[in-house]
Amino acid sequence: MQVLGVVAVILAIYCVHATVYFREEFLDGDEWRSRWVNSKHKSDYGEWKLTAGNFYGDAEKDKGLQTSQDARFYATSARFEPFSNEGKSLVIQFSVKHEQKIDCGGGYVKVFPADLDQTAMHGESSYYIMFGPDICGYSTKKVHVIFNYKGKNHLIKKEIKCKDDELTHIYTLILNPDQTYEVKIDNEKVESGSLEEDWDFLPPKKIKDPEAKKPEDWDDRAKIDDADDTKPEEWDKPENIPDPDAKKPEDWDEDMDGEWEPPMIPNPEYKGEWKPKQIDNPNYKGSWVHPEIDNPEYSPDSTIYKFDSIGVLGLDLWQVKSGTIFDNFLITDDVKEAEDIANETWGVTKEPEKKMKQDQDDLKRKEEEEKTKEQATEADEDDEVDDEDEDLEEEEETKDDMEEILSLRSGHNTTWGHLYCSVGLQADVGELSFSFILVMILPFCP
């Protein structure tokens, strides 16, 4: 009995230790609509849909919020009891599934101060933290970790690659009161370090001493010309000489053609420009290193990690091809609890999800194989080869176009993003002519 009691007490202590500030797994049908608030900042935000998608591990548990319209901004958020992460770890975790083979779109969350006006949330609303994957074209495939410090957003200096397949992945950010952090994907560490080193929150600790100067007589030439070396007398030879084998053509007419001259050829004896031998410089002092001093602008801050009133989690995104599903949102102060929950949710459904996707892919491949077989027996062989070549070329072209559109487009989605197909033209045209161009080009959008 006594032993049981002790175990119970220990368990109780352990359990109260973890605080879950926010958890959302969309397990109660349409009820999520009462917890999530759509922004009304724009009139044409994309619609969110509750679904487990085309393939999943569990038809109910894997239901999450899915972006359902192409080339739209999305903005929704959920509120929780405000808290400060002072003196505690902060864990932000959620799962993302780009089942649509995403071309360009955000997959990240923003964590806001409690005073955010949710119905007015937009791309410029100030947030504490932005975290999660972002994909755009073939060049941007990264995990953002952005912290707001003294009113300014600071991006992580390290490049963290995100997942770009179609399966569900779970992303975790851990922020510790000792100002260290860790990023995990699928419950495995992919990056870690210290806030001070991996972001430019503070000015550098050391700077080059502005007083120090390289002494004028500092000799940093490792090698010098050998003064004893002289150019050999027979060195200088012309670069080109008349071809000794050339002969005046028999029908050469000096009156008509002028005096005959043999063509020039490179001189085999030509040695180029003479340079003296190099020897070690006896006065060499090595390269001069600028001495550093403590930066007077620098003062340490042990509260960079601290946010006073965390109160809203939001999805504020731009997506070209929709279909991303967000699920399993969690904000807690307990790293182990977050890992446990990830194991119990994503950890349990990831394998069956993969299996269902594989089965679907296999089926599709089989159907396509059968179709091509049928076509092959019908069509003339020569024609088919031609067609295939054309198809391949076309595919290459659309891929190039896409890349161009996507790379040009990014940078404009804050204001003009949904007009992404009119890239390049928008900067110098007025609003009126701009809309016209859009109508012209939209049909060619990928």
Comparison of 310 and 335: residue with beta carbon closer to ligand NAG = 335
Comparison of 347 and 352: residue with beta carbon closer to ligand NAG = 347
Residue with tokens 């230790």: 17
- Structure-block tokens of residue 383: 């024609």
Does 127 appear as a known binding residue? yes
Instruction: Give the type of residue at 80.
Output: F
Q: How does 264-293 read in b/e, with b if 16+ C-beta sit within 10 Å?
A: eeeeeeeeeeeeeeeeeeeeeeeeeeeeee
The helix/strand/coil state of 251 is: coil
Give 198-212 as a DSSP string: HS--S--SEEE-TT-
Closest by alpha carbon to 93, among 168, 179, 148?
168
Comparison of 109 and 304: residue with beta carbon closer to ligand NAG = 109
The C-alpha atoms of residue 323 and residue 26 are separated, in whole angstroms, by 17
Cα–Cα distance list, 322 to 36, 52, 56, 69 (Å): 19, 14, 17, 6
Comparison of 122 and 306: residue with beta carbon closer to ligand NAG = 122
The C-alpha atoms of residue 291 and residue 206 are separated, in whole angstroms, by 10
Chain center to CA of 310: 26
Comparison of 343 and 398: residue with beta carbon closer to ligand NAG = 343
- 195, 242 Cβ separation under 8 angstroms: no
Q: How far is the CB of 175 from ligand NAG (least distance, A)?
A: 19
Number of H helices, E strands in the chain: 8, 22
Q: How far is the CB of 194 from ligand NAG (least distance, A)?
A: 24
The helix/strand/coil state of 168 is: strand
Q: How far is the CB of 124 from ligand NAG (least distance, A)?
A: 10
Comparison of 310 and 421: residue with beta carbon closer to ligand NAG = 421
Does 165 appear as a known binding residue? no
Q: How far is the CB of 29 from ligand NAG (least distance, A)?
A: 29
Q: How far is the CB of 83 from ligand NAG (least distance, A)?
A: 23
The H or E element spanning position 338 is helix 335-344
Comparison of 153 and 267: residue with beta carbon closer to ligand NAG = 153
Q: How far is the CB of 21 from ligand NAG (least distance, A)?
A: 19
The C-alpha atoms of residue 62 and residue 233 are separated, in whole angstroms, by 87
- 154, 201 Cβ separation under 8 angstroms: yes
The H or E element spanning position 16 is helix 2-17
Comparison of 140 and 281: residue with beta carbon closer to ligand NAG = 140
- Structure-block tokens of residue 80: 């929780």
Q: Phi/psi of residue 37, each to 5°? A: -115, 120
168-175 and 48-51 strand pairing: unpaired
Comparison of 189 and 365: residue with beta carbon closer to ligand NAG = 189
Q: How far is the CB of 37 from ligand NAG (least distance, A)?
A: 21
Position with the least CB separation from ligand NAG: 106
- 192, 183 Cβ separation under 8 angstroms: yes
Binding site for ligand NAG (CB under 6 A): 104-106, 134, 136, 140, 187, 318, 336, 339-340, 343, 347, 410-411, 413-414
Q: How far is the CB of 35 from ligand NAG (least distance, A)?
A: 24
Does 134 appear as a known binding residue? yes
Q: How far is the CB of 416 from ligand NAG (least distance, A)?
A: 10
Name the binding residues for an alpha-D-glucoside: 108, 110, 127, 134, 316
Name the binding residues: 108, 110, 127, 134, 316
